[in-house]
Structure 1
């Protein structure tokens, strides 16, 4: 009996001990020598519950990893993975423990060591512990001396650079602390792209391919400005002091470290993405919003699509195989791992020295292609001789003939679509097997005759069916047009395929989708936008479209109808024959927009935006104002396009920043600082676009600098010339000074006021309309703080006294240099 009681007591004590261990592993921030972590239900949580550590499974993956992730957001986002190259298959039988040597060790189901902190020289008499803190840092330290940190995750980053972490180079050991990308969306193993500090000792950050090829640099660090010289996007962050960057160089190491302002009130991280771009992301609401990416264009990454892959940064997927090629791994391609590239569908028929087989190979023509790397030039007299030279060498895979003959051997790297206007681009001839061009001729004459006869019969019936279907479809669409009379038309997807000839005539494309031209049965031209990445349900989509469809204004593109069928989401708009403003302003050499037309475009655009902001039942913020989204009709009347997409698709504009050049130049500072977005963000973008209408140059520092005689950025240059009273120099040189000075001055003042850093200092779009109409007058604006670094830095100048909008103030001189509050109209005396 006593033995039974003793056994029961021991069992109870053992159960309590196991319960205490389980409680410790699931609710504390520490692993000790007496505890461990195992299974998906156990995790460490930092003291203030900011971060968690446990077993993590990436999306679309069947493997498990020990990871640190954000604990306070809805989307599980990993910031550190310990065993990224040694995944686990079963977390239930795996353990994270303090090993006998004091290191933190990960064991798999066979109790084999998978990962370790690998600290050497530790005192075996001193116990160690692993602690997760609220900066996302996992530290291994002595229990008796917690200030002695033996190892920490923040000094061993994976793909994420957290606040407080170092990117640097140890001069003594030669070890570089760098970020290394994931291999794919589902595989956190080390990829081929890395982000690091220049190991040669300069203060530049590099992005490398395969740890050898550098394809982007930040430029040297400027202590005086607190930015990298080739990353102007940092200006807003440096001035708002949300981020504090520090560069340290001493005898032992060079490194960068950054921290966030304690009261910044936002979650932010920097990563090297699996596609080779470095990105800064802020958590807003329910999603990560991309603040900036480098390189800005995905196709500027080195070998983004692998051998024989072609890059197209204007639509998704951005990588595709050349004609005659297929993905080397379809699984990897589906997970955006393009490093393996593409392989031939049919091997080349050439054999060394056998000209009869060499001649069977042919060339496929690709126009407007950026040439691949590593070509060899030879001297020939014609394109025919250049092609023959390629055919004579079995290793030759492509040639070009443009003021000379260039040959390529082996895999073709860095191919890019739609690349023109450069000596590095043109027509490329890809070598393919003859079977890729012609069908087999092995059929007998009888079989061919039977097949041809059958085809004729089938074609006859197909033609009859198509004629009947076309007539019925035309009648159905015509009834819709007649019966609905101005209300939105709910199109069928196959009807839109038909009226657009299966989406064969593409008008353009952007972050939200591609646009195609079509014709209704009454010959009315329409523009059909196919939305990409749209996940709302059909009921919600129809409700939102119905709301947008009720918005009618002469300066807004009219929505004719929509399609919400299965996974298809399309919008049907009126067709604008003069295309977009950027085409007419920057890319049309035949016609130069005169000043009167530009001024009316500016005024019409302002009226359209004022309607969206102030006249609709619910204020609609466009969020992407730029020349590409201002369309022109036959009479060059401007119409704001895509104004409903912000309402339909929400605030996730990450694709806009990564796939569309120029958009970053129109972003208001609010997008960078992370404060709530208001209609004043559209006002800022409108101001940037107005500078383009005045100057005829893209709103881009590099393009403005290369086309001007000085180093001033146009907004800074404009503010200075306004102060000097020399507005004539601000006008587009192509206009030869043919414009009223008072209108130039008025437009420049409006533009400068629109791009003020403080959104409360910007006018509303309704006020912009009145100013451009001449109803209100304005004084010279102050120069925005964020533009001072791009030009001279004049003192603040008093704007005007607000007497029309309910704020009284004393009359001030136009030339006052005191820092006083601004208002929107001159005092009329």
Structure 2
């Protein structure tokens, strides 16, 4: 507001909108805006940031551009035969959105007719059908998450290469020829595999991957001195130390409760053996004999993260920089599991005990892929909870579908422990305002996150990094999984590449903490 002397009145000079997404084209073309997600702007499927540097700095107005040009645009543009459109272009549906401006209405009596109308015009970027057919011929601008109760869907045009293939009846003659050739080759291949299988079979096992080693049970007995030195135990089984004949030290996990047969087990081992990342523990081989199932991993000299986090005596604590780099390394490993594997791998059991440290304190996520291997279900997961408040996302309790965002929640709870060097449930008082995750959220609101740490711990802390870590942890533990960032975004935030907004207080954790208070009070009466 500016005071005008001549008019003796205030004039509005500048105003900040209460909802950033209400600013027209806040996120530019071919992206969508959501207030409760960080970052608030996301490129649509099949599109990438027009200017990655601007995007990472928080300026999204440049919008997004196609990863692959539409085939018809490469052939002169304009209208093209519908069969060309069906063959080369498909549609990706974005649900629960506020439709962008600039649509044109055409006559169509069904969603199929509306789709055909869009396909038959190379300039058509998207369509939506809700009793009437709306087409968009220009860049999609101002696409937003729907905040009211109405349901809208928009179908965005993409090249076929950007969307998994669906059945088509076209090209049958070629298909028959190719199919016949493949069948003939398949018969020959099966015969060869059968012959190789007979030659390679050794006591019911065969090599499944050139990088995987199959071990016999008696060999593992020998290298572990009959499983003498136990390194630890977890929800999946016990771990023992062993030394192979070439002098390589390994960790051998004896699995408990494996439900899969030998063939399924070996198939899973083949998949896990192809996963390589500096922040993921490396699987060297396996053993599958009778009822015994064992995994052979690289050995980590510093053991599990919990052993270093919760030491007694301040002189032994991990310095802040080491802890912060550990937090970043874990996110990179989980990002690889979620986004870079052939199929998304949800860990389901993120906690300090499942983070191992090598000789340089570089973190490696362990036990990934074992949740699926053991057929983990709700009844098994609930046993891993420590007290009332553990590492499990609320969707485990509600029974809703589990996604990678469940790992994000668990990571957030673990990040609180990395920050405080204490168990979340072992702080001095269990009351709601002293439960560490809630305390962090309150201190963020006050701008006093440095008060979260003891005076001795503040000396080597980078306050900017501490602030980032606290805000990330609070975003990770939001009840609505849509509000939680992806692991890839967390990496960017912790590395200072992306700004993070002020997180709301995690109401779900606050509710649990208050419920625990009431239970404690009632038990003392």
* TM-score normalised according to structure 2 size: 0.56
Specify which structure has the higher proportion of helix.
Answer: 2
Query: Would you say the 8 A contact 2:478–2:484 is kept in 1?
Result: yes
Query: Would you say the 8 A contact 2:430–2:513 is kept in 1?
Result: no
**Map of 1:748-787 to 2, 5 A cutoff?**
748-787=470-509
2:287 corresponds to 1:559: no
**Map of 1:50-89 to 2, 5 A cutoff?**
none
Match of 1:541 in 2: 265
Distance in 1 (CA, whole Å) between partners of 2:224 and 2:378 is: 28
Structure 1, unaligned runs of 5 or more: 1-482, 793-829
Deviation of 1:656 after TM superposition, in Å, equals 4.9
Match of 2:435 in 1: 713
**Map of 1:453-468 to 2, 5 A cutoff?**
none
**Map of 1:15-164 to 2, 5 A cutoff?**
none
Number of aligned residue pairs: give it: 307
Deviation of 1:500 after TM superposition, in Å, equals 0.4
Distance in 1 (CA, whole Å) between partners of 2:383 and 2:345 is: 24
Cα distance, 1:760–1:766 mapped onto 2, change above 3 Å: same
Match of 2:243 in 1: 519
Aligned match of 2:412 in 668, 687, 691? 687
2:462 corresponds to 1:740: yes
Aligned match of 1:573 in 297, 320, 333? 297
Query: Would you say the 8 A contact 2:437–2:474 is kept in 1?
Result: yes
Deviation of 1:734 after TM superposition, in Å, equals 4.4
Match of 1:676 in 2: 401
Q: 1:705 is paired with a residue of what secondary structure? A: coil
Deviation of 1:508 after TM superposition, in Å, equals 0.6
RMSD across aligned positions (CA): 2.3
Query: Would you say the 8 A contact 2:209–2:270 is kept in 1?
Result: no
Deviation of 1:511 after TM superposition, in Å, equals 1.7
Match of 1:341 in 2: none
Bigger shift: residues 489-498 or 652-661: 652-661
**Map of 1:435-450 to 2, 5 A cutoff?**
none
Deviation of 1:650 after TM superposition, in Å, equals 2.2
Match of 2:307 in 1: 583
Match of 2:328 in 1: 603
Match of 2:24 in 1: none
Per-residue CA distance 1:248-270 (angstroms, 9 max, x = gap): xxxxxxxxxxxxxxxxxxxxxxx
Distance in 1 (CA, whole Å) between partners of 2:210 and 2:326 is: 26
Distance in 2 (CA, whole Å) between partners of 1:659 and 1:688 is: 14
Query: Would you say the 8 A contact 1:511–1:656 is kept in 2?
Result: no
Cα distance, 1:505–1:636 mapped onto 2, change above 3 Å: same
Q: 1:670 is paired with a residue of what secondary structure? A: helix
Q: 2:478 is paired with a residue of what secondary structure? A: coil
* TM-score normalised according to structure 1 size: 0.36
Deviation of 1:729 after TM superposition, in Å, equals 1.1
Structure 2, unaligned runs of 5 or more: 1-206, 515-525
Distance in 2 (CA, whole Å) between partners of 1:754 and 1:564 is: 38
Query: Would you say the 8 A contact 2:209–2:273 is kept in 1?
Result: no
Query: Would you say the 8 A contact 2:214–2:286 is kept in 1?
Result: yes
Distance in 2 (CA, whole Å) between partners of 1:584 and 1:713 is: 22
Per-residue CA distance 1:731-758 (angstroms, 9 max, x = gap): 3554233211111100000000000000
Per-residue CA distance 1:802-828 (angstroms, 9 max, x = gap): xxxxxxxxxxxxxxxxxxxxxxxxxxx
Distance in 2 (CA, whole Å) between partners of 1:733 and 1:513 is: 39
Cα distance, 1:791–1:484 mapped onto 2, change above 3 Å: closer
Match of 2:218 in 1: 494
Query: Would you say the 8 A contact 2:285–2:295 is kept in 1?
Result: yes
Specify which structure has the higher proportion of strand.
Answer: 1
Aligned match of 1:730 in 442, 449, 452? 452
Distance in 1 (CA, whole Å) between partners of 2:309 and 2:388 is: 16
- The structure number with the bigger radius of gyration is 1
Query: Would you say the 8 A contact 1:696–1:732 is kept in 2?
Result: no
Aligned match of 2:349 in 608, 624, 628? 624
Query: Would you say the 8 A contact 1:755–1:762 is kept in 2?
Result: yes
Distance in 1 (CA, whole Å) between partners of 2:266 and 2:390 is: 33
Query: Would you say the 8 A contact 2:238–2:255 is kept in 1?
Result: yes
Query: Would you say the 8 A contact 1:656–1:663 is kept in 2?
Result: no
Cα distance, 1:660–1:677 mapped onto 2, change above 3 Å: closer
Higher relative contact order (CA 8 A, sep 6+): 2
Deviation of 1:644 after TM superposition, in Å, equals 1.6
Q: 1:757 is paired with a residue of what secondary structure? A: coil
Cα distance, 1:790–1:618 mapped onto 2, change above 3 Å: closer
Match of 2:228 in 1: 504
Distance in 2 (CA, whole Å) between partners of 1:790 and 1:738 is: 33
Query: Would you say the 8 A contact 1:626–1:663 is kept in 2?
Result: no
Distance in 1 (CA, whole Å) between partners of 2:306 and 2:226 is: 27
Q: 1:529 is paired with a residue of what secondary structure? A: strand
Distance in 2 (CA, whole Å) between partners of 1:720 and 1:754 is: 16
Deviation of 1:770 after TM superposition, in Å, equals 0.6
Q: 1:517 is paired with a residue of what secondary structure? A: strand
Deviation of 1:715 after TM superposition, in Å, equals 1.2
